[in-house]
Amino acid sequence: MRKKCTTEEINYHVKICLDIANIVDRHGEKDKPYLDELGLGYRALSISLRRGVKAVIDLQDDYSKALEYQNYAEIREKSARDFLQEVFEDEYIDTINGEDKQKIKEFVQQLMKKWEE
């Protein structure tokens, strides 16, 4: 079974990637501008590492936003179900027929007109 990555593990990996990019830049400037084993110049390697780190950070941000949106959606759904329970004494009113829906719409429109007066 695959182990779930923790934020600490991801952050440590990001730190190592940034450290390697800095080491590659420093050594590439004075020792070896091209890494035969990787088929890359030192700048191409350090840039690639930093772009990968940025991609990880962007993914973490996207994940946090998705969790936030999910939380808001759950709150909105609960609020809607609570309203249905209070008004109709049933939170699952999917069985209301078209005629009854139309009557409810007309009633709501009348209420809204009263509020605007």
Q: For residue 29, what are its two tokens?
A: 């400037």
On the question of pLDDT at 38 being above 80, the answer is: yes
The answer to whether the CB of 82 falls within 8 A of the CB of 75 is: no
d(CA 41, CA 24): 10
More confident residue, 95 or 116: 116
The closest alpha carbon to 57, from 106, 109, 15, belongs to 15
pTM: 0.65
Question: pLDDT tens-digit profile of 74-114?
Answer: 999 899 888 888 887 777 777 778 888 888 889 999 999 88
